[in-house]
Structure 1
């Protein structure tokens, strides 16, 4: 609840309400904004002038309406003066982007890790790359507003702590603290920093930059070595009490199914994830390496019988998960992303068929299922989108609105232990 005396916060909330409105409905005039947002015309004029001076908004040629009086001047989000940074701290490399406020990529970089098992060196590499991006010619006359980072594991988004990244072997890594230390003395020092699980970040990218605000609720289903989901409801990320919402890789799809890394049987991770596919095709005694993953993609594309059979089965299991997500959240759209997209329709088509069969049985229309708009840079671009998302919602804090709730290290020991193995 806003405190009556906090005029600066109230003003910032009002400013960003205008920006959000123009992000969803470009071209509105000051008068239309006043009517829609519920502020006086004089207040709108003052706030718009400030936002234009700072680089958030711009105006285009006046519209001829045929009415008497001053012509309406359309307002838009300005893509020419401000910038956002996004990063994907993935399993083998850091992907970095700089975008404008409209999500258009200004600069990008991929930095392979020298030591993927060493979290500190990977974070340092990413921090140096982000600082270097600010010196690129594309950002020469732009002001960077904030930074968003996607992590492949269980994240305490209020503190920036990576609790567990199962496929990197990282535990209890203070990513936010290390980044702030590396940013000291650089142009990034003191900038707002937002950190989230990669599926949540990618979901925000689809919401903010892909024009999908009308596809709300929206679910981003990320399928890589494991399985996770980012869930958008009413324009906000659903994080849950402990930031653990969307860990659908550990929903049970098959009782008595393959053993999962969490110790249970039949989880989505153990039936759909790329690690599970490699175990099926090559045996669990084989190490899950990037080379082996590339081999799996090549064999699936060439029609190898064992690989094709495993991908088909994973696709059908994915269809069961799609149905469960549909029933649980009733989304307008489910976006399937992650490294498994390399398998293309070999994976997605069986999933769609299962979902369509479920829909036909209930005589309802299944949600749209599609692939992401941003390809390999989806998480990095989502990081920039996350920065914009929370900057435009100043009253939300860092989005989770969970700062006064229990942290993972304050949970009962048994529950905390179970969460540590999920990712």
Structure 2
């Protein structure tokens, strides 16, 4: 019989419901949590007691009068115990961050990527992560999960990097290499998650926001490559094989400039950082073409927000402004209100911060497709401290 397993899963689901409510609306009381979640007061009381004992929640010392007319104790996510680590293995740069459960960046580091050889890249990531671990331990916190973002398509079911053309990787099972490198560096035992860098950047913008998350949300990453991450119906939309959002080689102009892929008129041929020239008018034209791409994403997905990040946008703010102006012109011509188009909150750190959000996103959604499968696949690869 699966009675015990079912009860444990039900408890995990109910715990995640309360945690998600308090992340979106800090300070809710037990009574308000029961009202908002639909759970009974006794169930909420028991779950809150467990979450406080497990140091997921903390309660205010001062009671307040809530809308139900009686004094109550506000509850909050406890961000003084756990932290999350995020790693971006970029085409040219490796970035590592540690963030609180509420998305505050506690530590960050960036280095030039020493080698695109997979084992060497993993060794570099492990060394940087070990330094981050020491910095977080000095704050009295413990890292409870590591997320990794890579510039390529990742198969959700297997965790295999299907292809990362700018790194020269194809059908690479990266997780074992990462966990071996982490173990060799003496890192403690925590689960490791892997996903496309634009996908995790979208998660970071979605999870670490003020109030309710913007859904649908699209993150467009403009760097050496151009990609998109899509949050749709409270989860990442990655497609059947992890290929959703590979927008760098969508054609924006027939017979346009030659792209590195051999075709003409691709998005990367207009505003990939290696293709963006310094001639007068290049940046203006590139911003317009990015605006065309954003308009197409808007009409396709009707998102609440489109977030644009990557080195090209951070280093050339007028490039992003040109794209925003283009979207607004299309909206005005159609007589429609444009979506929110904004820069990434964390700038160049967006993919690394999003990678840190990945483990939390899955933890708070135990019934999402692939969540259990990813967790089961990750379990044999948990890190163990070497002594």
| TM-score in terms of structure 2 length | 0.89
2:258 equivalent in structure 1: 259
Counterpart in the other structure of 2:50? 50
1:365 counterpart residue number: 337
SS in structure 1 at match of 2:91: coil
- Structure 2 distance, partners of 1:9, 1:385, is 22
Tell me the residue number matched to 2:290.
Answer: 318
Going from structure 1 to structure 2, the CA distance change for 1:358 and 1:238 (only over 3 Å counts) comes to same
- Corresponding residue for 2:365? 393
Please tell me whether residue 146 in structure 1 is matched to residue 118 in structure 2. no
With the length of structure 1 as denominator, give the TM-score of the two structures: 0.82
* 2:40 aligned residue: 40
Is 1:106–1:138's contact at 8 Å kept on the other side of the alignment? Answer: no
Match of 1:96 in 2: 96
What do you get for the CA RMSD once the two structures are aligned? 2.4
Residue 272 of structure 2 corresponds to which residue in structure 1?
Answer: 273
Q: Distance in 2 between matches of 1:110 and 1:345?
A: 21
CA distance in 1, matches of 2:359, 2:366: 11
In the TM superposition, residue 165 of structure 1 has moved relative to its aligned partner by 2.0
Q: Is the 8 A contact 1:58 1:76 kept in 2?
A: yes
Q: CA deviation at 1:15?
A: 0.7
Call closer, same or farther: CA 1:347–1:335 in 2, change over 3 Å.
same
CA distance in 2, matches of 1:32, 1:123: 46
Q: Is the 8 A contact 2:205 2:354 kept in 1?
A: yes
| Number of aligned residues | 373
Deviation at 1:42, TM superposition (A): 1.3
1:6 matched residue in structure 2: 6
SS in 2 for 1:83: strand
- Structure 1 residue 189 displacement after superposition: 5.3
- Tell me the residue number matched to 2:302: 330
Q: 1:188 Cα deviation (Å)?
A: 4.6
Match in the other structure for 1:341: 313
1:114-169 Cα shifts (integer Å, max 9, x gaps):
3x232211111102322332233555532322111111122223333222222222
Aligned with 1:108: secondary structure?
strand
Is the CA contact 1:154–1:164 (under 8 Å) kept in the aligned structure 2? yes
The answer on whether the counterparts of 2:98 and 2:136 sit within 8 Å (CA) in structure 1 is: no
| Alignment of structure 1 residues 382-421 onto 2, 5 Å | 382-396=354-368, 398-399=370-371
Cα distance in 2 for partners of 1:15, 1:96 equals 29
Do 1:322 and 1:355's aligned partners in 2 also have CA atoms closer than 8 Å? yes
